Structure 1
Amino acid sequence: MTLALVDYGAGNLRSVENALRAAGAENIRVTTDADVVRGADRIVLPGVGAFAASMAALKALPGMTKALTETVRDKGRPFLGICVGMQLMAEAGEEFGRHQGLGWIPGTVAKLEPTDPDARIPHMGWNDVTIATAHPLIEVGEAYFLHSFAFEAREASDLAATTDHGGQVTAAVARDTMLGVQFHPEKSQAYGLRLLKRFLEWRP
């Protein structure tokens, strides 16, 4: 099995690679090459930073957004988006203006606005993950979060998990062979490694 870990300048690339290896991945291709993505059995899109800059960096890789859509959406290869990599699955993001995303899952990435004045932004640290729609890769537990914007899915069936930070916040979205998690599996110790292991074994 070949796993393509897309390198578009995301800050958490190496820690994600190390976590994937710890979870049992062997043939990881850290790549900027669209053809490597097309030939991969599984794809992981990591990410740390602002939506607009991350999307621009992804588009700057020749043919990459097309290859991702063809391989993930059309061919149905298992896909995992992490943090900003998950947010890019949305139709648009509203950080520093409105910017187009990959458009794989209907919804918008908007600024967190907790109803609890004691809930600080960014949402940072360990928090509970609660199931919204059953998914084979998501379990109840605690994961590590670090974000100021969150995915607002338009369709309830795409919402796989939530957390609470002064109100309900999306923790994971899923559709078909695609899973996106707002938390960081690579920083979530045993909980995160179990998720990555399930992803490596997933046969959707």
Structure 2
Amino acid sequence: MTAAIIEYGMGNVASVQKALNVLGIDSQITGNTNDIKAAKYIILPGVGSFAQGMENLRNSSLDRIIREEVLLKQKPFLGICLGMQLIATTGTEPHESHGLNLIEGKVIKIQDPNTRVPHLGWNSITSSANLFFDNFNQKDFYFIHSYHFQVSNYNKIGATVDYGNKYVAAIQYENILATQFHPEKSQENGLNLLDNFFKLYA
């Protein structure tokens, strides 16, 4: 198996696998720790509450496995939407709770009174002088989120999105890549991004 798509009760896994099928990428939807250890890549999708997502991961000991495989074994990791937020140090939805702490920072609610929450629909991203995301500079991707990731180290930000204010759209650092948007719902641009992820960490 090439990619383990982690099933932890927060949805969005089938659409991710469907996109990988289009690309011819072998994958398995699983919550089994042995499957995750055997996979070459780890993908953490998800929608919903930060606190619930972390509770589900902890209850299945998946939080520990993810940290071991990603931080210690340096296995390529892709987080999508809630999956990106959960790699933060802490989150605040609906209350403050600990995250996976793969990337230092905090997930907080979008507070701009001049924009609608959630940030919903297509929006273009701007590369943060990042070689991977330079290929997708000013390309449109599909967003749906009410919270955003305040990343402590700017150098770990791969791309931003303008929605009244500038928010983190993507992260890339060493073996970790994560997107606030949904590549699996972003048509050709999203498929190209997923394809490039596997090529980057081949």
TM-score range, shorter chain: over 0.9
* Corresponding residue of 2:23: 23
What letter matches 2:55 in structure 1? Answer: A
**Structure 2 residue 18 is matched with structure 1 residue 3:** no
**Structure 2 residue 57 is matched with structure 1 residue 52:** no
* Corresponding residue of 1:36: 35
Q: CA deviation at 1:39?
A: 1.5
| SS state at 1:152 partner | strand
What letter matches 1:8 in structure 2? Answer: Y
**Structure 2 residue 113 is matched with structure 1 residue 139:** no
Q: CA deviation at 1:199?
A: 1.4
Runs of 4+ in 1 over 6 A off after TM superposition: none
Deviation string 1:65-109 (CA, Å, 9 cap, x unpaired) is 111111111111111000000000000001111110000101000
* Corresponding residue of 2:100: 102
Q: TM-score, normalised by structure 2?
A: 0.95
Q: Contact between 1:81 and 1:180, CA under 8 Å: does it hold in 2?
A: yes
Q: CA deviation at 1:114?
A: 2.1
Q: Which residues of 2 match residues 1-204 of structure 1 at below 5 A?
A: 2-26=2-26, 28-61=27-60, 63-114=61-112, 117=114, 119-136=115-132, 139-140=136-137, 141-203=139-201
Provide the identity percentage.
39
Q: CA deviation at 1:202?
A: 2.0
- More divergent stretch after superposition (175-184 vs 136-145): 136-145
Q: Structure 1 pair 76/29, CA: closer, same or farther in 2 (3 Å)?
A: same
Distance across 2 between alignment mates of 1:18 and 1:203: 20
Greater relative contact order (Cα 8 A, min sep 6): structure 1 or 2? Answer: 1
| SS state at 1:95 partner | coil
Deviation string 1:35-73 (CA, Å, 9 cap, x unpaired) is 211111001000000110111111121x31111111111
Q: CA deviation at 1:135?
A: 3.7
Distance across 1 between alignment mates of 2:41 and 2:11: 21
Distance across 1 between alignment mates of 2:104 and 2:11: 26
| SS state at 2:190 partner | helix
Q: Contact between 1:112 and 1:150, CA under 8 Å: does it hold in 2?
A: yes
Q: Contact between 2:54 and 2:63, CA under 8 Å: does it hold in 1?
A: no
What letter matches 2:201 in structure 1? Answer: R
Distance across 2 between alignment mates of 1:203 and 1:60: 30
Q: CA deviation at 1:167?
A: 0.7
Q: CA deviation at 1:20?
A: 1.2
Q: TM-score, normalised by structure 1?
A: 0.94
| SS state at 1:71 partner | helix
